[in-house]
Amino acid sequence: MRRTLIAGNWKMNLNRAQAIELARSIAGGLRENSSVEVAVFPPAVYLDAVIAAHPGLTVGAQNVSENGDGAFTGEISCAMLRDLGAVAVILGHSERRTLMGESSQQVNRKTIAALNAGLTPIVCVGELLEQRQAGLTDEVVLEQCRTSLAGLATEQMERTVIAYEPVWAIGTGHVATPAQAEQVHAAIRQWLAGAFSPSTAARIRILYGGSVKPDNAAELLSQENIDGALVGGASLKADSFLGIVRAAEPQAVA
């Protein structure tokens, strides 16, 4: 069965002391033996400090280079993230796709690099408002999946997490309705069943992201194909992030 994952994307926020403090409050608020898996994604420069201060917390990065170590000024390699103790990486977030021009082909190369390094990739997909209004949601999202996940072996796909994040819902307060989100999650799982196999599709976690808050999390997470949440704004305060973790607990599978 799929273990519920609640992931906090801190984006480019907080200073070093605040990052350590937030991690402390989150780590302190987690229940032992919870059926929910929790991970946080601080800015890269604070990974070391957060991991050192809270070794029990699952920590990942918000991006990584597709290249191995070498002459890539300003970049951070998968090996460097592993060296720090990071275990996961968010890839193809819509802010990187839109603001940094990251393509699905690039996301694909990063996904393969992350898998080869033993990192868990969380690969983000999602449509723009205009695309949804034009009835293109499934087409856009499935094309992002096809290209971003191209060439993965079944074993690699099973180590990958997908995050469906409608761009119009990110940071806007306009959360997708549970039915809207579930429809896309089901389409992604159906695509996985065809591209890999039904049993592989049944094992892969598909997170929802976009204005998830403590008061809307339970209903979203109760949907059959929603296996967790990728949380931005509400992950910056321990109370609201832990509120989402709590909301996930009743429906989580141990």
Which of 95, 102, 127, 165 is catalytic? The answer is: 165
Instruction: Compute the distance between CA of residue 151 and CA of residue 128 in angstroms, rounded to an integer.
Output: 26
The verdict on whether 54 is a catalytic residue reads no
- Cβ atoms 208, 227 nearer than 8 A: no
- Cβ atoms 35, 4 nearer than 8 A: yes
Q: Which of the stretches 18-26, 69-77, 208-216, 246-254 binds ligand PGA when contact is defined by CB under 6 A?
A: 208-216
Instruction: Compute the distance between CA of residue 247 and CA of residue 213 in angstroms, rounded to an integer.
Output: 10
Q: Which of the stretches 74-82, 113-121, 184-192, 209-217 binds ligand PGA when contact is defined by CB under 6 A?
A: 209-217
The verdict on whether 139 is a catalytic residue reads no
The answer to whether 233 contacts ligand PGA (rule: CB under 6 A) is yes
210: left (phi over 0), alpha (psi -120 to 50) or beta: left
User: Containing H/E element for 180?
Assistant: helix 178-195
Given candidates 115, 212, 226, 244, which one binds ligand PGA under the rule CB under 6 A?
212
Select 145 or 170, whichever has its Cβ closest to ligand PGA.
170
Instruction: Compute the distance between CA of residue 236 and CA of residue 212 in angstroms, rounded to an integer.
Output: 12
Given candidates 78, 230, 242, 245, which one binds ligand PGA under the rule CB under 6 A?
230
Which of 54, 66, 93, 102 is catalytic? The answer is: 93
The answer to whether 232 contacts ligand PGA (rule: CB under 6 A) is yes
Given candidates 115, 119, 231, 245, which one binds ligand PGA under the rule CB under 6 A?
231
Q: Which of 120, 125, 117, 127 is nearest to 161 (CA)?
A: 120
- Shortest gap between Cβ of 171 and ligand PGA (angstroms)? 4
Q: Which of 89, 80, 149 is nearest to 119 (CA)?
A: 89
Select 121 or 210, whichever has its Cβ closest to ligand PGA.
210
Q: In the range 142-181, which residues lie near ligand PGA by CB under 6 A?
A: 165, 170-171
Given candidates 4, 9, 63, 106, which one binds ligand PGA under the rule CB under 6 A?
9
Task: Please identify the residue of the shown chain whose CB is closest to the bound ligand PGA.
Answer: 232
The answer to whether 209 contacts ligand PGA (rule: CB under 6 A) is yes
Q: How far is CA 245 from CA 34, 102, 117, 153, 231, in A?
A: 10, 30, 28, 31, 11
DSSP 167: G
Show which residues are catalytic.
93, 165
Residues near ligand PGA (CB under 6 A) are 9, 165, 170-171, 209-212, 230-234
